[in-house]
Structure formats: C-alpha cells, structure tokens
Amino acid sequence: MLHFIVFLLATICFTLLTAGVLFSFYKREIALKQRVNNYFGERNKNNIVLNKKENKRNQLLKLYWQKGVQQVSERVSKTDIKKLDVMLRDAGYPFKLSAIEFRLVQILISSIGAFIIFILFLPIASNKAMVWVLSVAVAMLGFRYPIFYLAKKKTQRIKEINKNMADFFDTVNLLIEAGMGLDASIAVVCQKMKGPITEEFRQMLEDMKLGKSRREAFYELRKRVPSDTFQSIITSLIQADQLGIGMAKVLRNLTTRIREQRREAAREQAMKAPIKMLFPMVFFIFPALFIVILGPIVIQFITKGFGG
C-alpha cells in the first residue's frame, strides 16, 4: 500500500511537471488563440459542451451547499449563531459568509482533514488506535482553526482601524472647515481612502439612507467596531451632535488625542522591547558567545590538562 501511494504521488508530480513545461512552451500560441476567439466571437462546440458541464456542476454544488446549510441551521442553536455572527462582524465578514455557512465550513474542514489522515495512515500504521486518536485530533483542530482565523482577522482589523483613524478624521475635519457638512465630508473621504474604517463609515451612510437617524447610525457603528479608542471617539461625536457643538473643533481635539495615544502606545512598546529581547539573548545569543569565548579554553584543558 505504501508503494502504491508513493507511485501515485510520483505520477501526479510528473503529470503536473509535464503540464507546466508544455504550457510554458506553448504559452504564446494559447494566448494568441484565446485573443482571436475573443475578438471574432468564435466558439467551438467543445467549449459549449464544457461550459454546459461546468454550469451543471456549479448548480449541483449550489444545491448540495444549500442542503448542507439547511441541515446545519436545523441543528445549531440560536445562541451559537449569535456568537458566530458577532465574531464574523468583528472580523469584517471574511469571505462574505453568514454564521450558518461558517459553521458548515468548520464541519467540512474537520471531516475532510480527519478522513485524509485516516486514509493515509491506517494502511501503514501498526497501532490502529493511534490513527483514530490522530484523526480525532485533526478533526478538532480543523474545527477550531477557523475560530483562530477569525480572532487573528479581528486583531488585524482593529490595528488597521487604529492606524488609519487619525488621517481619516483629519481629512474629515479639513472638509468640514472648508464648508462641507459632516455626512458629505465622510462620504468624500470614504471615496478617496480605502480600508476597514472607510467600509464601516460607508455602512453608516447606507444606514442613514435607509431611514436611520445619525445618532442611531453612530450607535450601530460603535457596536460593529470592537476598538476602545474608536468607540470613545464615536461616543464623543454622538455627544457633540446632541449638544450642538461644532464638529470641526471636536474633530480637531479628537485627532490630537488619537495621535497622543498612538505616541504613548509606541513608547510603551519601546519600553517592552528589552524584556522581549531577554529570552532570545539567553537561549540563542549567549550560548553562541560562550562557545566562541570558552570553547578554546575547554579544548586546551582537555588536551593539555590544567598544568599545560
């Protein structure tokens, strides 16, 4: 069985290598043929048949996917769906998946990983129980890995929002001082800048177009972004809007506070640097220095003794 698996992997590698070599040799001819077909509108019967097969295959995949989503929705509780929805919202909805679809992806990754491990190691393993244990461990890891991915995306998103906040509100402040309103200034900045903070403010503007007041849209924006700094700034904007204070002055003070907080955070990270450098120095740098410095002395003691 092991020889068969090695032979199968070698065959696949050889086939892929041959295909890559042939594609590199005939790359120009393939590109020229595609351009001619696209320009003159020629479609071969084989291409039509292949497109029909691909459409049928996509329809089957969509049908099975919908059935899987329906089965998962019947078995997952509402509390779990709410938790997953919050985690997806904090991560920025990666891959545009809903909570039920994300749980289906977790189940698929878990089952496929366990099945692959079971098929590969069961024929060659002497201890069958270890294969079962390994399959269960891979299944649990595959089920939990998407959650870890969401947590990582959440931290990256928060860092990017905190990094772009000062520039975003500075630009909004300049447009307000130039005579534009708050909503129009945010819309213009969202068109010119990119990033998660602009996506959230676009969503806020869409909520206002759908009938929500500015206060409600700001409250929803504060809930969606799990950043303490951002939430405090949105709270200040809500209070300034309620009290009728000029937004230009408020935004100027807020951007000053944001830059001061970033400066303090940079100083804090700089103070932590010596402590973080201690462990690499102890485990990697100091042993090498001891070998270089004390190595010749130890060799001399071994060869000549203490009297040499």
User: Which pLDDT does position 39 carry in this prediction?
Assistant: 53
SS (HEC) of 78-126: HHHHHHHHHHHHHHCCHHHCCHHHHHHHHHHHHHHHHHHHHHHHCCCCC
Whether residue 45 has pLDDT greater than 50: no
Which among 194, 188, 201 is positioned nearest to 230, based on CA atoms? 201
pLDDT at 18: 61
Residue-level pLDDT at 152 = 92
Q: Does the structure show a pLDDT above 80 at 101?
A: yes
Domain ranges of the chain: 157-264
Lowest-pLDDT range of 111-115, 142-146, 177-181, 278-282: 278-282
Task: Judge whether residue 155 has pLDDT over 80.
Answer: yes
pLDDT band at 59, cuts 50/70/90? confident
pLDDT at residue 277 tops 70: yes
- pLDDT at residue 42, rounded to an integer: 47
Confidence of residue 148 (pLDDT cuts 50, 70, 90): very high
CA–CA distances in Å: residue 132 to residues 111, 112, 116, 140: 13, 14, 12, 12
Cβ atoms within 10 Å of 179's Cβ, excluding its own: 8
Q: Is the pLDDT of residue 244 over 50?
A: yes
Q: Which of 248, 244, 245 is nearest to 256 (CA)?
A: 248
pLDDT digits 0-9 by tens, 282-292: 788 878 888 88
Lookup: tokens for 265 = 């955070």
Could you tell me if 220 and 207 are in contact, meaning their C-beta atoms sit under 8 angstroms apart? yes
Question: Which residues neighbour 128 within 8 Å (Cβ) at sequence distance 6 or greater?
Answer: 122
Which has the closest alpha carbon to 182: 106, 272, 244, 103? 244
pLDDT in the model for residue 14: 53
User: How does pLDDT run across 10-40, given as a tens digit for each residue?
Assistant: 566 556 556 555 555 556 666 656 665 665 5
Q: Report how far residue 169's alpha carbon sits from residue 143's, in angstroms, rounded to the nearest whole number.
A: 40
End-to-end CA distance of the chain: 63
Q: Which of 14-28, 74-88, 167-181, 214-228 has the lowest mean pLDDT?
A: 14-28
Q: What is the pTM of this model?
A: 0.67
User: What class, spelled out in words, does domain 157-264 have in CATH?
Assistant: mainly alpha
Please state at what angle helix 45-75 crosses helix 99-121, rounded to 10 degrees.
100
Nearest alpha carbon to residue 200 among 172, 222, 178: 222
State yes or no: pLDDT of 50 exceeds 80: no
Cα distance between residue 54 and residue 5, in whole Å: 30
- Given CA atoms 171, 176, 179, 184 in this order, what sign does their dihedral have? positive
What is residue 140's predicted lDDT score, i.e. its pLDDT?
92
What pLDDT band is residue 67 in, cutting at 50, 70 and 90? confident
Answer whether 62's CB lies under 8 Å from 54's CB.
no
How big is the chain, counted in residues?
308
**When comparing pLDDT for 158 and 297, which is higher?**
158
pLDDT at 43: 47
Mean pLDDT, the chain, whole residue set: 80
| Whether 146 contacts 110, CB under 8 Å | no
